[in-house]
Amino acid sequence: MELNDYIKEVLKYPLRCVSFDLCAFPTQIKLIADWLRSQSMIYAEIWNSDREKEIGDDLKYLVNNITVVDRMSLQSSRYKEGFQMEIPTTPHSLRITNASFINFEQLLRLKNRKISLGKPCVSAKELNNFLKSWMDRESHLDLEAFDMNISGPEAMEVIMDLSHEETADENVTETFNK
């Protein structure tokens, strides 16, 4: 923190990217998060090096107290039982490698432009409803990209049971490129 403050003062260069290991300074997470609160960063990667440690309040405190403008990546492998956390809408792009705490209602509240969720607690039917809502322009109007792990071919059939139109237009590729 002191080194960053010095560089910022001397070079007039703002903090742009943060890679934060929740296990590196476990007793100082709140202190670091409070310091980061005054910074605005382009990219934040938050992870835990101890794959066996369950993450909870520290992650929630950190995420709720920093401002990330472009990309946020949460790469925790395990959460405390019953863990829930609201995701900020400020990052343009959101990636959560283990989104087991994200349920359907929370998925509907996400407002990020690019969303990538691994291992979410969302059923195939709920994902189908999300896609229908998005396609009908009822929600997520700013969504540019969406990526989510699913559980297999059966789930894919349920998810992809969407209304669609077929076309014989030879200029479809050009239309999509525009």
- Claim: this prediction has a pTM higher than 0.85: no
Question: What pLDDT does residue 20 have?
Answer: 93
What mean pLDDT do residues 80-102 have?
A: 91
All domains of the chain in start order, with CATH: 3-176 (3.80.10)
Distance, in Å, from the CA atom of 74 to the CA atom of 119, rounded to the nearest integer, reads 13
Task: Express as a percent the part of the chain with pLDDT over 90.
Answer: 44
* CB distance 121 to 105 below 8 Å: no
Distance, in Å, from the CA atom of 21 to the CA atom of 120, rounded to the nearest integer, reads 22
Please write the tens of the pLDDT for every residue from 141-160. 899 999 988 877 777 788 77
Question: What pLDDT does residue 113 have?
Answer: 94
Grade residue 178 by pLDDT with cuts at 50, 70 and 90: low
Question: Of 57, 65, 19, 58, nearest to 40 (Cα)?
Answer: 65
Q: What is residue 160's three-state secondary structure?
A: coil
Question: What pLDDT does residue 177 have?
Answer: 67
Question: Of 77, 44, 78, 82, nearest to 62 (Cα)?
Answer: 44
Please write the tens of the pLDDT for every residue from 9-59. 888 777 789 999 999 998 999 999 999 988 878 999 999 988 778 889 999
Name the average pLDDT for the chain. Answer: 87
N residues, the chain: 178
* CB distance 113 to 89 below 8 Å: no
Distance, in Å, from the CA atom of 153 to the CA atom of 67, rounded to the nearest integer, reads 39
